[in-house]
């Protein structure tokens, strides 16, 4: 009872709080148009434009979760910022569609090779391109990590300890949650906390999860999702159209395109699109970064900068560092200790679907609806360490067909199963798979259109990984059966990529420190998901953005790192 009262009190305090402080910190939601169109194109047309030879305070590679957050924070603090983004500056009105196959252009589809004992398919399921990065088509679940995630090596003997604690990140979590903004029920797991916006109503899939969890005695909650409930600035309410993974045409789901980019532009940042970074440049001795080499319109450029931040996601960031080898760093930039590209992680994401006589029609309402973290922590009665979370996922027809085909169905069998689509409710787990040195990005011999060696991502599971995935599957099947499913099927999948440039206490154990500054090159930062030393069983975007919020505050407070180069670009 006391717990419930406390939850009600914190929720009330948050939901009635003023939005003024949020708007002062980041006015993005108020800079969007309120005339029914989704992005103010004059912001793009009037964007400040720097010259390659302007030695800007900061150049960022990649405009996704991490890159856009950093651009906004630093531009807001008065730094001159150029963000190089390989993809386009999206116009949601004309370039995004409510259609699965028609959303192919949102994904990073440059060639990549996958290998190892348990290779991880990429494409739609893993990474995006263009302004907003993968947050354009991410589902929008935004849970925090648990305090235990920061010391799994000490407490559980697996994974790695972070160089920072949960408490270091809490204020950043709160700030980003306000800016996305997050809607959801009071959250009882990890560090219990409330959300500012009320939970969304649930569709058939969420209803089944809640019903099954209640019957099985498992605690479940609605949210947390980065989807506006009610108006937020000029962002309207969700229309429950269910195409969150194809980009939200409504502006209800937060992507950094609408949560951070408008304010970055308003503060003079330049987001230079269709600009593919090919190498990070340093001075001749390799002491500090001097800028970023990139290809645009088929021509090579070099943007000079005093500080460089890389935010290309867990595959592209290590690849760019490896492709930036020079005399001082023959094995790749910042790779003195053979750590760049290692400890890349994916979450085991088995999906279990249950068949119900009633119509579920899981395609309505956002795929992210209901979640449970009741199995997140290490349970001493189990044979494995760490755990998993369970969430609703609502596959649209093509994804569902892959699910059915993965069961071995084809021909008439496949067609008949598929005609049963609206009767299925689907849950997905996020299993904490452990970081392993052998799970890594290396350069393949094959080259892409830019002439750069493509990434080879090798992935293999360990015994603990397999045990967690099996346990998650059992729980999901139990929930669906408890809800009345007459048949359940499970497929093995992966979700989310993190790691590859992990943060650590010192250079022998990681590529960057807790402030995301690389150990080897002091004015080079890595500000994306690749810095995570462990991944927990939570979706990563909120944590990535919170880490960047914290690093940005450190950067603003400290002295600007890089040295000014003499006129004429003598740094080379």
Partner 1 sequence: MPARRPPARRTVPSGEAGRRFPGFDVLDQADAWDPATAATVLQRLQLQPDLRFFTCAEEACAGALLDLLLAQDGPPQRPEVPVLQMIDARLAETQTDGWRYQDMPEDGDAWRATLRALDEDAADRHGAPFAALPAEQQRRLVQTVQDLHGKDWHGMPAAHVWSLWTRYACTAFYSHPWAWNEIGFGGPAYPRGYARLGVGARERWEHPDADPRDPAADSQERT
Ligand X SMILES: Cc1cc2nc3c(=O)[nH]c(=O)nc-3n(C[C@H](O)[C@H](O)[C@H](O)COP(=O)(O)OP(=O)(O)OC[C@H]3O[C@@H](n4cnc5c(N)ncnc54)[C@H](O)[C@@H]3O)c2cc1C
Residues 307-346 that bind ligand X (CB under 6 A): 311-313, 316, 320
* 195 touching ligand X, by CB under 6 A: no
Taking contact as CB under 8 A, which single stretch among the options 10-18, 20-28, 100-108, 371-379 is the one that binds partner 1?
100-108
Contact of 141 with 496, CB cutoff 8 Å: no
| Pairing of β 308-310 and β 487-491 | unpaired
Contact of 32 with 38, CB cutoff 8 Å: yes
Containing 557, the helix (H) or strand (E) segment is helix 541-557
Give contact residues for ligand SF4 (rule: CB under 6 A). 227, 238-244, 248, 250, 252-253, 366
| Pairing of β 113-115 and β 453-458 | parallel
Shortest gap between Cβ of 140 and ligand SF4 (angstroms)? 7
Shortest gap between Cβ of 35 and ligand X (angstroms)? 27
From ligand SF4, partner 1, ligand X, none, which one binds at residue 86 (CB under 5 to 8 Å depending on kind)? ligand X
Dihedral sign for Cα atoms in the order 75, 81, 84, 89: positive
Q: Which of 50, 90, 141, 459 binds ligand X (CB under 6 A)?
A: 141
For residue 339, the 8-state DSSP code is -
From partner 1, ligand SF4, ligand X, none, which one binds at residue 343 (CB under 5 to 8 Å depending on kind)? none
Shortest gap between Cβ of 38 and ligand SF4 (angstroms)? 11
Whichever of 16 and 94 has its CB closer to partner 1, that residue is 94
Binding residues for partner 1 restricted to 220-259, rule: CB under 8 A: 238-243, 249-250
Could you give the C-alpha distances from 239 to 15, 242, 271, 300, in angstroms and in order?
A: 22, 8, 30, 44
Taking contact as CB under 8 A, which single stretch among the options 73-81, 399-407, 429-437, 540-548 is the one that binds partner 1?
399-407
Residues 482 and 369: their CA atoms lie apart, in Å, by 19
Residues 309 and 512: their CA atoms lie apart, in Å, by 12
Contact of 58 with 289, CB cutoff 8 Å: no
From ligand X, ligand SF4, partner 1, none, which one binds at residue 141 (CB under 5 to 8 Å depending on kind)? ligand X
From ligand SF4, partner 1, ligand X, none, which one binds at residue 366 (CB under 5 to 8 Å depending on kind)? ligand SF4
| Pairing of β 276-282 and β 494-498 | unpaired
3-state SS, residue 537: coil
Residues 524 and 217: their CA atoms lie apart, in Å, by 49
Q: How many residues does the chain have?
A: 572
Count the neighbouring beta carbons within 10 Å of the beta carbon of residue 338: 11
From partner 1, ligand SF4, ligand X, none, which one binds at residue 412 (CB under 5 to 8 Å depending on kind)? partner 1
* 100 touching ligand X, by CB under 6 A: no
Binding residues for partner 1 restricted to 346-385, rule: CB under 8 A: 355-361, 363-365
Shortest gap between Cβ of 134 and ligand X (angstroms)? 3
Containing 272, the helix (H) or strand (E) segment is strand 270-272
Containing 454, the helix (H) or strand (E) segment is strand 453-458
Containing 487, the helix (H) or strand (E) segment is strand 487-491
* 110 touching partner 1, by CB under 8 A: yes
Q: Which of 87, 204, 224, 395 binds ligand X (CB under 6 A)?
A: 87
Taking contact as CB under 6 A, which single stretch among the options 128-136, 358-366, 435-443, 506-514 is the one that binds ligand X?
128-136
Binding residues for partner 1 restricted to 469-508, rule: CB under 8 A: 486-487
* 419 touching partner 1, by CB under 8 A: yes
* 145 touching ligand X, by CB under 6 A: no
* 84 touching ligand X, by CB under 6 A: yes
Binding residues for ligand X restricted to 231-260, rule: CB under 6 A: 245
Residue ranges in 146-203 assigned as alpha helix (H):
152-156, 166-179
DSSP state letters, 201-265:
P--HHHHHHHHHHHHHT---EE--BSB-SS-BTTB------S-GGG--TTS-B--HHHHTHHHHH
Shortest gap between Cβ of 245 and ligand SF4 (angstroms)? 8
Q: Which of 126, 228, 436, 535 binds ligand X (CB under 6 A)?
A: 126
* 28 touching ligand X, by CB under 6 A: no
Whichever of 541 and 555 has its CB closer to ligand X, that residue is 541
From ligand X, ligand SF4, partner 1, none, which one binds at residue 227 (CB under 5 to 8 Å depending on kind)? ligand SF4
Could you give the C-alpha distances from 277 to 310, 342, 399, in angstroms and in order?
A: 10, 21, 32
Binding residues for partner 1 restricted to 507-536, rule: CB under 8 A: none
3-state SS, residue 483: coil
From ligand SF4, partner 1, ligand X, none, which one binds at residue 313 (CB under 5 to 8 Å depending on kind)? ligand X
Closest CA relative to residue 134, chosen from 57, 226, 199: 226
Binding residues for partner 1 restricted to 443-462, rule: CB under 8 A: 456
3-state SS, residue 546: helix
From ligand SF4, partner 1, ligand X, none, which one binds at residue 492 (CB under 5 to 8 Å depending on kind)? none
Shortest gap between Cβ of 186 and ligand X (angstroms)? 20
From ligand SF4, partner 1, ligand X, none, which one binds at residue 190 (CB under 5 to 8 Å depending on kind)? none
Taking contact as CB under 6 A, which single stretch among the options 20-28, 119-127, 257-265, 396-404 is the one that binds ligand X?
119-127
Whichever of 92 and 163 has its CB closer to ligand SF4, that residue is 92
Residues 360 and 427: their CA atoms lie apart, in Å, by 13
Q: Which of 17, 78, 123, 438 binds partner 1 (CB under 8 A)?
A: 123
Contact of 114 with 446, CB cutoff 8 Å: no
Residues 515 and 30: their CA atoms lie apart, in Å, by 30
For residue 64, the 8-state DSSP code is S
Taking contact as CB under 6 A, which single stretch among the options 29-37, 59-67, 260-268, 433-441 is the one that binds ligand X?
59-67
Residues 67 and 560: their CA atoms lie apart, in Å, by 18
Binding residues for ligand X restricted to 504-543, rule: CB under 6 A: 528-529, 539-542
Chain residues in the site for ligand X (CB under 6 A): 61-67, 84-87, 125-130, 133-135, 137-142, 245, 276-277, 311-313, 316, 320, 368, 496, 528-529, 539-542, 544
């Amino acid at each position: 009872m006391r717990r419930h009262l406390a939850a009600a009190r914190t929720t009330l305090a948050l939901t009635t709080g003023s939005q003024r402080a949020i708007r002062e910190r980041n006015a993005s939601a108020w800079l969007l148009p309120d005339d029914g169109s989704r992005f103010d194109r004059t912001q793009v047309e009037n964007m400040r434009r720097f010259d390659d030879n302007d030695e800007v305070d900061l150049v960022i590679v990649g405009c996704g979760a991490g890159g856009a957050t950093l651009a906004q924070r630093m531009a807001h603090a008065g730094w001159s910022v150029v963000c190089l983004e390989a993809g386009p500056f999206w116009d949601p009105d004309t370039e995004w569609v409510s259609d699965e196959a028609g959303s192919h252009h949102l994904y990073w589809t440059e060639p990549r090779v996958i290998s190892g004992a348990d290779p991880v398919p990429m494409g739609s399921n893993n990474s995006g391109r263009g302004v907003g990065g993968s947050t354009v088509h991410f589902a929008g679940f935004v849970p925090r990590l648990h305090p235990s995630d920061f010391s799994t090596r000490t407490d559980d003997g697996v994974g790695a300890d972070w160089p920072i604690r949960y408490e270091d990140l809490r204020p950043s979590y709160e700030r980003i949650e306000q800016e996305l903004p997050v809607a959801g029920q009071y959250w009882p797991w990890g560090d219990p906390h409330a959300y500012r916006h009320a939970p969304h109503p649930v569709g058939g899939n969420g209803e089944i999860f809640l019903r099954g969890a209640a019957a099985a005695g498992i605690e479940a909650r609605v949210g947390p999702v980065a989807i506006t409930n009610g108006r937020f600035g000029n962002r309207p309410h969700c229309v429950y159209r269910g195409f969150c993974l194809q980009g939200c045409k409504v502006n209800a789901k937060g992507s950094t395109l609408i949560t951070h980019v408008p304010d970055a532009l308003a503060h003079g940042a330049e987001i230079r699109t269709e600009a593919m970074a090919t190498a990070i440049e340093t001075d001749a001795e390799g002491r500090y970064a001097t800028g970023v080499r990139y290809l645009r319109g088929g021509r090579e450029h070099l943007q000079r900068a005093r500080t460089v931040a890389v935010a290309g996601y867990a595959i592209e960031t290590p690849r760019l560092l490896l492709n930036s080898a020079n005399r001082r760093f023959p094995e790749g930039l910042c790779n003195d200790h053979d750590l760049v590209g290692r400890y890349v992680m994916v979450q085991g994401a088995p999906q279990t679907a249950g068949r119900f006589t009633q119509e579920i029609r899981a395609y309505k309402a956002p795929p992210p609806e209901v979640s449970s973290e009741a199995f997140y922590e290490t349970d001493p009665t189990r044979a494995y360490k760490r755990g998993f979370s369970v969430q609703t996922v609502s596959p649209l027809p093509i994804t569902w067909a892959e699910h059915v085909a993965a069961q071995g169905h084809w021909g008439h069998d496949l067609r008949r199963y598929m005609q049963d689509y609206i009767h299925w409710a689907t849950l997905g787990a996020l299993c904490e798979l452990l970081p392993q040195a052998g799970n890594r990005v290396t350069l393949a011999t094959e080259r892409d259109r830019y002439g750069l060696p493509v990434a080879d991502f090798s992935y293999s599971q360990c015994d603990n990984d397999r045990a967690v995935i099996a346990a998650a599957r059992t729980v999901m099947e139990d929930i669906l059966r408890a809800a009345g499913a007459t048949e359940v099927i499970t497929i093995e999948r992966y979700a989310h990529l993190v790691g590859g440039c992990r943060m650590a206490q010192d250079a022998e154990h990681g590529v960057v420190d807790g402030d995301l500054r690389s150990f080897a090159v002091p004015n080079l930062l890595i500000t994306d998901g690749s810095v995570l030393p462990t991944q927990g069983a939570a979706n990563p975007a909120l944590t990535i953005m919170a880490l960047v919020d914290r690093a940005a505050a450190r950067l603003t407070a400290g002295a600007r790192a890089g040295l000014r180069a003499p006129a004429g670009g003598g740094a080379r």
